[in-house]
Amino acid sequence: MWAGIQHSSQENTPCSLSPLERGIYNFWDRIGDLLHCFFATGLPDNNVYIGRVLDNFPTVHKESALFQQINKIYIDHVRPFVHERNEDAHNQSFATTRFYRVILARGDKQREQTEIKLRLPDLFKEQIDLAYQGFEFALHLIEERGQKL
């Protein structure tokens, strides 16, 4: 069984999250579980999340170009998405947040918030593509580890 499965059950996830948002968040955590299974992160099994896995990754493997690619995707694209997801999960839904940001904004700010809302399909597509890239990099990193043993 995957190390971090316990913390991702849907009954613990608020229903206000969109299925896409939940799916992307969970997929990245499964990448964290996968890496945790093959690399000694020192994390207890019930505390395995992708960000913590990357932060606690064995130093000897941090020089790998594959690790650096996964880490860069996470820091540049996934972490901001996850941060917003966490805000939504603990406060209100993604759609509600976007709606209120649009109606409460004035002038140029309202136009900016509307444009962000209209870009959500592209944002989700980008996040799904990045998750697939992260999964491929993780598999190659595991393969690379095996070659170094």
Encoded tokens for 42: 């020192």
Closest CA to 85 of 114, 70, 77: 77
pTM: 0.70
pLDDT of residue 102: 58
| Distance of alpha carbon 39 from alpha carbon 125, whole angstroms | 29
- Buried b / exposed e over 6-23, threshold 16 CB at 10 Å, is eebeeeeeeebbeebbbe
Among 93, 144, 133, smallest CA distance to 117 is for 93
What tokens appear for 52 in the block? Answer: 């913590």
Q: Average pLDDT across each block of 10 residues of the chain; the chain has 149 residues. List them in order.
A: 38 51 87 96 93 95 96 92 64 58 64 71 88 96 82
Structure tokens at 95: 């759609």
**Whole-number pLDDT of residue 119:** 76
Q: Which residue in 29, 69, 75 sits closest to 53, CA to CA? A: 29
Cα gap 22→89, rounded to integer Å? 9
Position 53 scores a pLDDT of 97
**Alpha helices (H) along the chain:** 19-38, 50-55, 59-62, 65-73, 79-90, 94-104, 108-118, 120-148
* Separation between Cα atoms, residue 108 and residue 87, nearest integer Å: 24
Residue 79 identity (one-letter amino acid): R
**pLDDT given at position 18:** 72
